[in-house]
Amino acid sequence: MTSMSYYLLSLRRTASVAEVQHELKAEGIAPFVNARAVQWVHLPMRADYMLAIDWDVVLGLGSGIQLPERVLQLTDALHKVDVCVASPSPINDKLQSTLPPPQLSFYDRPLRALCTQFHQITPSMLAFADHPLCPKGPISMLNFVSYQPFAFAEGSYQKYLEGVQAGPAKRSGVSVKFNGSLTPLHGARATGEWDLVFLAQYPSFKHFVDMGSDSEYQELNRKYRMPALRDLCILITTEVDLEWTIPGSEKVKPEVSKGVIESANQ
């Protein structure tokens, strides 16, 4: 096990994601997680402050690594969460693979959405999947999870994760990059918020919808996930390529929607 910190950054209006990447590279910092925030797909019911700020960057830094002062100067707001995680695996190598992603099947089967506040494939999710602003390539979903205050909740959620990874996630080409419990300093029991933070990577947003519409996934969700959850929020992110974000050689920054996708808890 090792510790790491997730940082959500909201940049000043005059700053850019490219500048953040340049400063990290100048300091020799290679984040475990280095992503651009795209859009919320599930909204927290209690942590309203998560939605009150327009986040731009998500970073995951190893234990003892601090954000450079210059990055802080580019930042308007910052949210930090410390977690304990297993050793990182070379998941990015899989995403860069030339192997084709699994075939999508949700368009070929009836939409069997569950009417719950925590997971439902809504019409707005389907619409976003085909929207020009939806990322076309791999995405990373940053999940913040809060358990119900019952002894069984954590175990129930772990059964859900194990079942999903063995079946629906495997079929949809999903990999969990980091799965970390919060440390006592910033843990849910201390703050009343989150117990678990993890990053799940999908070949595309359509693969996220595909997994959510899977009948086995929905049964695991109903049986193990729903009874365990007190709160949940999920942020869509896309991994940043350091090589093209250095000022002077950067691509045009894409215009992305910074709103929220209508989810079942709205």
- Count the domains in the chain: 1
In a domain, 261, yes or no: no
pLDDT at res. 261: 62
Q: Which domain does 215 fall in, by range?
A: 2-244
pLDDT category at 242 given cuts 50, 70, 90 is: very low
Average pLDDT across the chain, whole number: 80
* 159 vs 2: which has the higher pLDDT: 159
pLDDT at res. 258: 53
In a domain, 250, yes or no: no
Structure-token pair, residue 56: 């731009």
C-alpha separations of 216 from 182, 190, 213 in Å:
29, 35, 9
Residue 109 maps to which CATH number? 3.30.70.100
* 183 vs 166: which has the higher pLDDT: 166
Residue 31 to residue 6: CA distance in whole angstroms: 10
Amino acid in the structure at residue 27? E
pLDDT category at 148 given cuts 50, 70, 90 is: very high
Q: Tell me: the pLDDT tens digits for 172-189?
A: 999 887 777 876 544 444
pLDDT at res. 175: 87
pLDDT at res. 213: 84
How much of the chain exceeds pLDDT 90, in percent?
46
Residues constituting the chain: 266
Mean pLDDT of 140-150: 93
pLDDT at res. 63: 82
pLDDT category at 257 given cuts 50, 70, 90 is: very low
In a domain, 253, yes or no: no
Q: Tell me: the pLDDT tens digits for 88-115?
A: 554 444 444 545 677 776 655 555 544 4
- Is residue 17 scored above 90 in pLDDT? yes
C-alpha separations of 197 from 69, 122, 182 in Å:
26, 24, 7
Q: Given the structure tokens 């700053």, which residue do they identify?
A: 15
pLDDT at res. 119: 56
C-alpha separations of 122 from 115, 168, 226, 244 in Å:
10, 19, 17, 35
